[in-house]
Amino acid sequence: MSATAPIPASIDADRVASLTEHMRTVYRERTARSGEYFERASGVMPGGVPSQFQKNDPWPVYIERGTGAQVWDVDGNEYLDFHNGFGVMCVGHANPTIAAAVKARMDEGTHFAAPTEGSITVAEELRRRWGLPQWRFTNSGTESTMDAIHLARGFTGRELIVKIEGTYHGHHDAVMVSVKPPPALMGDRSRPTSIPYGLGYPANTPDLTRVVPFNDADALSSLLEELRGQVAGVILEPAMMNINIVPPVDGYLERVRELTRDHGAVLIFDEVKTGAAVAAGGATELFGVTPDVVCLAKAICGGLPGGAVGMTDELGALVASGQVRQQGTFNGNPLVMAAAEATLLEVLTDEGYAKLHKLNEDLMAGCDRIISEYKLPAHTVGMGSKGCVVFSSEPIREYRDYLTKIHHDLTNLAWLYHMNNGIFMTPGEDEEWTLSVLHTDADLKRYLEVFEMFARDVTSAA
Ligand SMILES: Cc1ncc(COP(=O)(O)O)c(C=O)c1O
């Protein structure tokens, strides 16, 4: 199984290769100062970055500042930001409402490791949005999904976890399995092999985390049957968001809900990416299926590092009694709570969502027009504030489709076009754009101009 679809005959592969080479040179020249920062950073940080996801070839763009929908890098290049901090900044950069809330909190003390009213207010709002009664706070998506796994195991007294092939849920042991499994190792589709993502995990980690394809409830049903009485929980993103965007097919989430209930397994929705970004109540609201545990982070805290775990009353009782340990020095930190409160109550309001949804629909429609006019082998997928151009003529339903049906060379070239023309996008080929309430129609127009420039160049005769 090859790990990319070949460029279709309608597009000249040599042209794509030479444009890519050219665009790489332009990137290097435009971001020379970032290259110097990278040299310096590599002396003190492995790979020159604080987090592996910030790494990209030949070096990352080092950012100086941002305001609204704009960011500036250390070379002085100005970008419109469609990366938006991996989907965190739906509120926009330096949003004055968030800034005022955080500054006010700053003057009243930023950390006590004792509860403040902010945490109650935010938990109440999350309960209203997601319909789950009990909430605790974390500092990241990784912590949220780690706590969710502990809850599932603690509640059921079982050890096995089932996850979806090709999903990322953070970097703790239980979920660092079959995140991006190499084609040669992943085994049969109906019963994929569990493959650790990197080194550093106990040898039995893959035995404890089993894998099924997304959008295939029958595969999940047969695995749960085979492991009857052993599965503590099933964790999934209701819409996959780390291999572009892969929405659930009709009826899939409903069947996953039924199956987990029938098998006494805890259903965990990882809404770290979808939560508060695709609708007020995230994918839970959008698709109308409520899990036992929901994991949040990213967009809910308006740019400060925080997360949350929502749970049923039964699960909450285990946390309250301390049988399942959910804790952390910075959980519910007042500064983070001030940002979350302003984000959820003042910025990402009904009006805010209406704006995000309209902008997203317009951007997708603009991309669709260009795709059709230039006959690109691509389509758009999106929801809420998020969307992407998927360089495949066929729909992508699971990780193996992503491997075999997407023209990754085109995805990478589109990314270079965006970056070299002032559109800041997520590095690499797996992500999507995220809009903020501070994006404007003019920002979308510029995005579309650059996308059209790319479309014209790759499809025009040499
Ligand atoms: C779906 C999903 N879950 C969990 C995480 C982990 O979140 P964090 O990076 O905040 O630890 C991510 C990060 O990108 C994610 O995309």
- AA letter at 193: T
Where does the pLDDT of residue 100 fall: very low under 50, low under 70, confident under 90, or very high at 90 and above?
A: very high
Q: Which two tokens stand for residue 130?
A: 């997601």
Q: Please report the atom of ligand 1 found closest to the CA of residue 143.
A: 11
Which pLDDT does position 9 carry in this prediction? 78
Rounded (5°) CA angle 345-351-354? 125
CB 356 within 8 A of CB 84: no
- 270-289: average pLDDT: 98
Task: Give the pLDDT confidence of 295-331 residue by residue, as tens digits.
Answer: 999 999 999 999 999 999 999 999 999 999 999 999 9
What six digits make up the tokens of 319?
Answer: 């946390």
The CA 379 to ligand 1 mean position distance, Å, reads: 25
Show the tokens assigned to 362: 């317009």
Banded model confidence at residue 431, pLDDT cuts 50, 70, 90? confident
Q: How far is CA 282 from CA 247, 260, 401, in A?
A: 13, 21, 25
Q: What is the DSSP string of 284-336?
A: HHHHT---SEEEE-GGGGTTSS-EEEEE-HHHHHHHHTTSS----TTTT-HHH
Q: pLDDT band at residue 429, thresholds of 50, 70 and 90?
A: confident
pLDDT digits (tens, 9 = 90+) for 254-264: 999 999 999 99
Which three-class secondary structure state does DSSP give residue 383?
strand
User: Which amino acid is residue 228, in one-letter code?
Assistant: R
Most distant CA atoms of the chain, gap in Å:
69
pLDDT of the residue at 2: 47
Residues having CB within 6 Å of any atom of ligand 1: 86, 140-142, 145, 168-170, 237, 242, 270, 272-273, 297
In terms of residues, how long is the chain? 462
Residue 290 phi, psi dihedral angles, 5° rounding: -105, 125
CA distance 54 to 431: 13
Contacts of 130 (CB under 8 A, 6+ apart): 281, 282, 284, 285, 290, 294, 310
Nearest to 295 by CA among 205, 235, 220: 235
Q: CB 17: neighbour CB atoms within 10 A? A: 13
Cβ neighbours for 398, distance < 8 A, ≥ 6 positions apart: 164, 165, 166, 213, 214, 215, 216, 246
* pLDDT of 403 above 60: yes
- Whether 168 sits among the annotated catalytic residues: the reply is yes
* Mean of pLDDT values over 135-158: 98
Closest CA to 210 of 244, 240, 187: 187
Q: Best mutation site among 294, 298, 300, 304 for ligand 1, i.e. most ligand atoms within 8 A of its Cβ?
A: 298
* pLDDT at position 428: 67
Neighbours of 184 (CB within 10 A): 8
pLDDT in tens, 168-209: 999 999 999 999 999 999 999 989 999 999 999 999 999 999
| Ligand 1 mean position, distance from CA 166 (Å) | 13
The token pair at 252 is 């899939």
The identity of residue 46, as a single letter, is P
Mutate to test the pocket of ligand 1, among 83, 168, 388 (most ligand atoms within 8 A of CB): 168
Residues with Cβ < 8 Å from 153, sequence gap 6 or more?
A: 159, 161, 232, 233
* Residue 462: band (very low, low, confident or very high) from pLDDT cuts 50, 70, 90: low
Please give the Cα distance from 393 to 390 (Å, whole number). 8
Query: What number is the average pLDDT over the span 407-430?
Result: 91
Please give the share of the chain, as a percent, with pLDDT higher than 90. 95
Q: Whose CA is nearest to atom 4 of ligand 1?
A: 169
Rounded to whole angstroms, how far apart are CA atoms 368 and 269?
30
For residue 427, the model assigns a pLDDT of 72
Q: What is the mean pLDDT of the chain?
A: 96
Q: How far apart are CA 410 and CA 15, in angstroms?
A: 11
Ligand 1 centroid distance, CA of 332 (Å): 18
Q: Which strand (E) or helix (H) includes residue 449?
A: helix 441-459
For residues 154 and 148, what is the distance between their CA atoms, to the nearest angstrom? 10
**Nearest residue to 175 (alpha-carbon basis) of 192, 194, 188, 193:** 194
Please tell me the distance from the alpha carbon of residue 459 to that of residue 462, in angstroms, as a whole number: 9
Active site residue 79: no
pTM over 0.75: yes
DSSP E strands in 83-208: the ranges are 134-138, 160-164
Look at residue 32 and tell me whether its pLDDT is greater than 90. yes
Residue 270 pairs in a beta bridge with: 295
Handedness of CA 73, 79, 83, 87 (dihedral sign): positive
Residue 194 CA, distance from chain mean position: 22
Write the single-letter amino acid at 38: F
Give the model's pLDDT for residue 295.
99
